[in-house]
Amino acid sequence: MPEGPEIKTNSLFVNSVCNGKIFTGKPIRSAVAKSPEIDFDCNKYTISSKSRGKELMLVLQCECTVCDKMHLLFRFGMSGKFMFTSKEQLPKHAHLQFYTAANTSSAEQCVLSFVDARRFGSWHITQEWGQERGPDVVYEYDAFCDNILHNLHQETIFNKPICEVLLNQKYFNGIGNYLRAEILFR
DNA sequence: GGAGTATGAAGAT
DNA sequence: TCTTCCTACTCCA
């Protein structure tokens, strides 16, 4: 699933389902996950999201003034996605789980989870976007264009078949195999 | 039941 | 440039 548009859609989805919700407790990591534990044990926090190319940033914001925000950078690999379900319907392959507080407006406890069947995806505790990845074509259109126009003279990068150039994430952050195929076909 | 396929990308050669 | 990580699904004998 996940190339730029799907990452953006996932980010909008997270913001939609988490709007007005309070989350609680330390996020739960599955036993087989390779990405780090999240030491953010907060009684009441909110979750918001933003995206840039193939990366999605979750922001955990504690309601108290004592705790700091925590930023988590996600890459989705080949099969990553976010889901929001009841605790009872937690999907298989939910490798990082954020639980809503039980006493919020909805009666049952819900879970925002990062689901990734193939486990090629990852998360990192950082607020920096990937250093080797270029601007987002939607959210940073001018920077996206400038980045390409100012580097077009670099023959080792751009003097190649366009089907190879389009996969260079330093300039086309968010383009993957299916998008380059669609773009070149059209 | 086995072979082949899948939207990523780090690490080895 | 090749290999590896991993699961789910389709197709075929």
Q: Is A182 among the residues known to form the active site?
A: no
CA atom of A110 to C1′ atom of B4, Å: 38
Q: Which residue among the candidates A8, A21, A50, A54 is catalytic per the annotation?
A: A54
Q: Is A170 among the residues known to form the active site?
A: no
Residues A72-108 have pLDDT tens digits of 999 999 999 999 999 999 999 999 999 999 865 556 8
Residues A36-78 have pLDDT tens digits of 999 999 999 999 999 999 999 999 999 887 778 999 999 999 9
Q: Output the pLDDT for position A56.
A: 98
Closest nucleotide to A117: CA versus each C1':
C7
Q: Indicate the range of A11-15, A63-67, A117-121, A133-137 predicted with least confidence.
A: A63-67
Residue A6, pLDDT above cutoff 90: yes
Residue A59 near residue A38, CB atoms below 8 Å? no
Query: What's the sign of the alpha-carbon dihedral A75, A59, A100, A29?
Result: positive
CA atom of A117 to C1′ atom of C11, Å: 22
CA atom of A175 to C1′ atom of B2, Å: 34
A125: part of which helix (H) or strand (E)? strand A122-125
Q: Is A2 among the residues known to form the active site?
A: yes
Instruction: Report the footprint of strand B: residues with C-beta closer than 7 angstroms.
Output: A 1-3, 6, 54, 75-78, 118, 120, 132, 169, 176-178
Closest nucleotide to A119: CA versus each C1':
C6
Question: CA A110, CA A99: separation in Å to the nearest integer?
Answer: 6
Cα angle vertex A48, ends A95, A86, to 5°? 50
Sheet hosting strand A110-116, strand order edge to edge:
A80-86, A110-116, A94-100, A23-29, A45-52, A55-62, A70-75, A122-125
Mean pLDDT of chain A: 95
What pTM value is reported for the model?
Answer: 0.95
The average pLDDT across A5-16 equals 98
